[in-house]
Amino acid sequence: MTDPIAHLSASGHLDQIFVDGCWRAPHGGGRASVIDPASEAEVAQIALGDGEDVDSAVAAARRAFDGWSNTPVDGRVALLRRIHALLLDRADLFARAISLEMGSAITAARAAQVPFAAEHVRVAAENLAEFAFTSLRGTTAIAREPVGVCALITPWNWPLYQITAKVAPALAAGCTVVLKPSELSPLSAVLFAEVMAEAGTPEGVFNLVQGTGPVVGEALARHPGVDMISITGSTRAGVLVSQAAAETIKRVALELGGKSPNVVLPDADLERAIPLGVAACMRNVGQSCSAPTRMIVPRARLAEVERLAAATVSAFVLGDPLDEATTHGPIANRAQYERVQRMIEVGIAEGAKVLSGGSGRPAGCAQGWYARPTVFSEVRTDMAIAQDEIFGPVLCIIPYDTVDEAVAIANDTVYGLGGHVQGTDLEAARAVARRIRSGQVHLNHPAWDPQAPFGGYKQSGNGREYGIEGMEEFLETKAIVGFA
């Protein structure tokens, strides 16, 4: 197997950005360390760009826009399919890079992080091939046209997945892009830029500028040459980007935080629903904005829920992410590890019942940012652990007495990104799903659907990703009256 660090060091691309079809040294002289969260050791450094690099990348994307936006659909489809094939060809290299840069268990990286990322590209090609860019409404033509130059800002928790979820639909729509990935998990982004180059992406259509949020992110948000900015990140980051983007009235798409409910109805099959609910909460070590971190359960069945939840956590295997037996690796970075520890201590201080876990490292993990998978029960909805996004392996079990109360608890949050409902009576589960104020609701733990639009209500953001709606975010609507 190829070592991602050895590969990238040999290529020299850790010291470069990708602008206008070329790898080049950035103008900015900054550097960032890539830290292996399992060992806390520096494994590489990357060069960081600055405002001048942003200017160069935006200018390249602007020059490329007319040509790319007028490229026939079949040409854009062909590029996306080449990208998809290359991602699959290099799947193990990407998986190992993701494990190294943010601690994902290699089995999870291979089963979810990489293949789901590739699916975003395949789906974008599929949707593009069938999309009607012009339709008639009476005698008026409704034309859908690309927004223009798009700045894409992606996070550290699903590094490749979030890149493809933005880049693929933007390119499908005919936009050109400047990508700023998280400087905390940059390896997979550099590997992705290599894929874009090898796939034959025209010069300037895709550009990569590594950098920090306050420097590169803010420069992109304020840049008058950027027509749209799409960010996945914290609600605080979304506010800052929106404020900076307001100066130039650019379109802003925000996929932000969450505190998603998992409503377990009285007739649910607990033997199935509870283990799957715990696993969904703690997938990616709880570092998913849509993770169902609030399990809302019938008070009469609380003891049974507690038994099943504790048993599920006890089967987790924490350890070296590259060990095939590991189910859960470390928290991705020190700052997030420290936040998770603080929030676990807050939950204990608030009087929540600790079923499993607690603060500190797990046994056998003397180094690395490992957190103990923690399940709190008898949580009240006014507790901080029930309201604040923790972004770690922490589940809150909240009891209810009536279904109306369960729905009220589910909606008692500033967020509205995801939701889950479990119940044997499907019509009753559907009725509850319609009452939950969030952009996506899962019934009875279905398979992941890359065509299902994803995005938030309330402080979870605006706009949608994935599927047709994900591509439509990158399109303007033009009415040509008297066309027919």
Q: How far is 206 from 192, CA to CA, in rounded Å?
A: 11
Name the H helices within 315-371.
334-349
Ramachandran class of 364: left when φ > 0, alpha when ψ lies in -120 to 50, beta otherwise:
left
Please identify which of the residues 101, 183, 218, 255 carries the catalytic annotation.
255
In the chain, how many H helices and how many E strands?
Answer: 17, 22
Q: How far is 261 from 291, CA to CA, in rounded Å?
A: 9
Strand partners, 480: 141
Cα dihedral: 308, 310, 312, 316 (round 10): 180
CA distances from residue 327 to 103, 106, 113, 289, 366 in whole angstroms, order as listed: 11, 9, 14, 20, 18
Q: How far is 239 from 331, CA to CA, in rounded Å?
A: 25
Q: How far is 438 from 260, CA to CA, in rounded Å?
A: 8
- E-assigned strand segments in 125-184: 134-137, 140-146, 149-153, 176-180
Q: How far is 78 from 85, CA to CA, in rounded Å?
A: 11
- For the chain, the C-alpha Rg in angstroms (whole number) is 22
Bridge-based pairing state of the strands 251-255 and 261-264: unpaired
Q: Which of 233, 181, 255, 177 is nearest to 212 (CA)?
A: 181
Give the 3-state secondary structure of residue 46.
strand
Residue showing tokens 């890149």: 163
- Concatenating the DSSP letter of every residue in 213-238 gives IIIIIHHHHH-TT--EEEEES-HHHH
- E-assigned strand segments in 160-306: 176-180, 206-208, 228-232, 251-255, 261-264, 294-298
Q: 388: Cβ–Cβ under 8 A, 6 or more apart, which residues?
A: 259, 343
Amino acid in position 403: V
**40 flagged as catalytic:** no
Strand partners, 45: 33
Strand partners, 78: none
Residue showing tokens 């956590």: 313
Catalogue the active-site residues.
255
